[in-house]
């Protein structure tokens, strides 16, 4: 049993203070984002036989260095503290060159990455596409016939991958009366869930009048529907797919997890937890064109498509164009317009890949607000500066 005094000394509150009603709020998220399985039912993603890290790479020499941000210069350590960082892991040329952890997070701990889960699920779609098991341009109803009558009834897998479904849904994170709150109850992330499952909720969403494919609309249910698509196409559950298609060939060293609803439907839009290093390994695999340890994980063509294709017009018509004015969104990854690309999750989760400098950066955080646009811009500037320093 956890020593209450030790727990309080580490986190500043008691374990009994944390529940479904407050786990994503400050200060409770500092613990909850590392221990989601104690709050929401979760399925294991087993690590391979080579599991186990050796030791953290020293980053102390970098923490005192100064980076230029929008509001002026700041040390690396200062920015990490101000941005509520829990962990920072940096790779250069395929090697781990630095690991930093806040006092409340230990090396080897896993952390919820929220919407970076979307980017990982899209890799599964790319793998199944390369195997000929999932047609990325096919109608959704090819795999989910019961989607007829929902917003997805006349959408394609491509629309789902690129967030261009004309979906009548708002990403209202903080509104307890919204459809988004109902969505979170269906995933068991909020109190009062259990009567409606995730799949039932997804297929109840209606479409907007406009055509699919023209506007980037960031709507998380699209990515849970992608989880349904990869399961229908493969005949395997998402945790099995992640273990077999991603964790094993990557040589992941830590066990992962994904939250599930009452019927075992995986929250592929935001429910994956993994270690910073294993997330960095995924970024490095992308930087290597789909290869990890000499093993082909996903096709080079899919990685190239993910990092260079997509509609810039649809992006600019969308609601996030201010983050990357010259960017695009493809296969649930963001392109910066400067050659780098990333996966992003709310509350400050980042997987940043810069092929030009051969750098991969993972930052995991417990920001108080789900979305903080000014801090997002500062994070991007921080990553770009850090890539030139390591």
98 and 21 fall within a common domain: no
**What is the residue range of 211's domain?**
91-389
Look at residue 84 and tell me if it is in a domain: no
186 and 319 fall within a common domain: yes
Look at residue 83 and tell me if it is in a domain: no
Look at residue 223 and tell me if it is in a domain: yes
Look at residue 72 and tell me if it is in a domain: no
Look at residue 38 and tell me if it is in a domain: no
132 and 7 fall within a common domain: no
CA angle, residues 196, 41, 31, in degrees to nearest 5: 125
Percentages helix, strand, coil for the chain (3-state, rounded to 5) are 35, 20, 45
- Number of structural domains (the chain) is 2
Look up 115 and say whether it is catalytic: yes
23 and 131 fall within a common domain: no
Q: What is the pLDDT of residue 174?
A: 82
Q: What is the pLDDT of residue 385?
A: 95
26 and 110 fall within a common domain: no
26, HSE (Cβ side, Cα atoms, 13 Å): 12
Residue 75 to residue 98: CA distance in whole angstroms:
16
Active-site entry in 115, 117, 150, 273: 115
88, HSE (Cβ side, Cα atoms, 13 Å): 23
Query: How many Å separate Cα 195 from the centre of its chain?
Result: 27
Beta strands in 275-330, from DSSP E residues, in sequence order: 291-292, 295-296, 328-330
Look at residue 62 and tell me if it is in a domain: no
156 and 233 fall within a common domain: yes
1 and 142 fall within a common domain: no
Torsion of CA 355, 359, 360, 365, to 10 degrees: -130
Q: What is the pLDDT of residue 54?
A: 78
**Dihedral sign, Cα of residue 281, residue 385, residue 341, residue 183:** positive
Tokens representing 80 are: 């990490």
226 and 357 fall within a common domain: yes
19 and 105 fall within a common domain: no
CATH number at residue 174: 3.40.710.10
Q: Which of 41, 341, 25, 63 lies closest to 187, judged by CA?
A: 41
For the chain (390 residues), the mean pLDDT of every run of 10, in chain order, is 77 96 97 98 87 85 91 92 98 97 96 98 98 98 98 98 96 87 96 94 96 97 98 98 96 96 97 98 98 96 98 96 97 98 98 98 98 96 95
134 and 277 fall within a common domain: yes
Look at residue 74 and tell me if it is in a domain: no
CA distances from 79 to 14, 69, 83, 92, 196 (A): 27, 9, 6, 21, 41
21 and 168 fall within a common domain: no
Q: What is the pLDDT of residue 50?
A: 62
Q: What is the pLDDT of residue 71?
A: 75
Q: What is the pLDDT of residue 364?
A: 98
Look at residue 67 and tell me if it is in a domain: no
Q: Which of 348, 351, 323, 347 lies closest to 337, judged by CA?
A: 323
């Amino acid at each position: 049993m956890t020593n209450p005094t030790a727990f309080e000394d580490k986190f500043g509150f008691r374990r009994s203070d944390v529940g479904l009603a407050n786990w994503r709020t400050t200060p409770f998220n500092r613990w909850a984002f590392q221990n989601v399985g104690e709050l929401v039912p979760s399925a294991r993603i087993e690590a391979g036989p080579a599991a186990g890290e050796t030791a953290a790479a020293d980053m102390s020499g970098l923490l005192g260095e100064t980076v230029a941000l929008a509001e002026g210069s700041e040390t690396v350590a200062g920015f990490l503290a101000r941005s509520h960082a829990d962990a920072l892991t940096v790779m250069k040329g395929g090697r781990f060159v630095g690991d930093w952890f806040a006092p409340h997070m230990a090396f080897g701990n896993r952390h919820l990455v929220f919407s970076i889960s979307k980017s990982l699920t899209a890799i599964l779609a790319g793998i199944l596409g390369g195997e000929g098991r999932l047609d990325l341009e096919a109608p959704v109803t090819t795999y989910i016939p019961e989607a007829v009558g929902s917003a997805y009834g006349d959408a394609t897998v491509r629309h789902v991958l690129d967030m261009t479904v004309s979906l009548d849904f708002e990403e209202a994170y903080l509104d307890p009366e919204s459809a988004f709150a109902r969505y979170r109850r269906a995933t068991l992330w909020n109190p009062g869930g259990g009567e409606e499952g995730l799949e039932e909720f997804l297929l109840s969403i209606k479409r907007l009048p406009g055509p699919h494919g023209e506007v980037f609309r960031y709507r998380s249910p699209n990515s849970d529907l992608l989880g349904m698509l990869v399961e229908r196409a493969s005949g395997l559950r998402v945790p099995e797919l992640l273990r077999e298609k991603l964790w094993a060939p990557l040589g992941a060293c830590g066990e992962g997890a994904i939250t599930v609803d009452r019927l075992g439907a995986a929250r592929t839009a935001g429910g994956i937890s993994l270690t910073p290093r294993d997330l960095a390994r995924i970024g490095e695999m992308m930087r290597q064109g789909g290869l990890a340890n000499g093993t082909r994980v996903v096709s080079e063509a899919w990685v190239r498509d993910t990092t260079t294709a997509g509609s810039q017009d649809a992006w600019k018509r969308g609601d996030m164009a201010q983050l990357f004015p010259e960017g695009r969104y493809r296969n649930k990854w963001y392109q910066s317009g400067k050659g780098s690309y990333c996966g992003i999750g709310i509350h400050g989760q980042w997987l940043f890949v810069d092929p030009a400098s051969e750098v991969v950066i993972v930052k995991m955080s417990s920001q108080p607000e789900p979305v903080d646009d000014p801090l997002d811009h500062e994070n991007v500037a921080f990553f770009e500066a850090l890539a030139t320093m390591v």
